[in-house]
Amino acid sequence: MTEEECTGNGALSCLVRGYRADAAIIPEPTDAHLVSANVGVIWFKVTVRGHPVHVREAGAGANAIEAAYSIIQSLRALEAELNAEKGDCPPFADHPHPINFNVGKIAGGDWASSVPAWCEIDCRLAVYPG
């Protein structure tokens, strides 16, 4: 295992102490159970741009935070589609919900009296192996 291949705090701690290995067992997030396969993850940020105006003219603007809602709903639909395909990936065929989507962070707008010009959502989406 090279330093570039090591990920996670535990692996880094081992490297710092001088340990090297050809393989590793990582019991997170499987409640310390050994599994034959695990999902991968994709972390990503979505930036939405709006059109800022004073709130008294809100109808003339475009609210970036509210626009982010539809993106989140579309990503939830993608999550459902991927979970419906779990039978195509045998290690997960019996798992109730192997693919999870999460909006872990959201930020937007500049102040309460302006239609938000921007919104960013930080997300995580699981993916099947391969």
Give yes or no for residue 43 having a pLDDT over 60: yes
What is the C-alpha separation between 19 and 13, in angstroms, rounded?
9
Grade residue 38 by pLDDT with cuts at 50, 70 and 90.
Answer: confident
8, 68: one domain? no
Grade residue 11 by pLDDT with cuts at 50, 70 and 90.
Answer: low
What is the C-alpha separation between 48 and 66, in angstroms, rounded?
10
What's the predicted TM-score (pTM) here? Answer: 0.76
Give yes or no for residue 1 having a pLDDT over 60: no
CATH number at residue 62: 3.30.70.360
Q: Tell me the residue range of the domain where 116 lies.
A: 35-127
At 13 the pLDDT is: 78
What is the C-alpha separation between 19 and 2, in angstroms, rounded?
11
CA 24 from centroid of its chain's CA atoms: 24
What is the C-alpha separation between 24 and 14, in angstroms, rounded?
11
The residue type at 96: P
68, 117: one domain? yes
58, 27: one domain? no
Tens-place pLDDT, residues 76-120: 999 999 999 999 999 999 999 999 999 999 999 999 999 999 999
Proportion of the chain above pLDDT 70, given as a percent: 90
29, 45: one domain? no
Grade residue 3 by pLDDT with cuts at 50, 70 and 90.
Answer: very low
48, 19: one domain? no
Residues in the chain: 130
62, 99: one domain? yes
How confident is the model over 28-51, as a mean pLDDT? Answer: 87
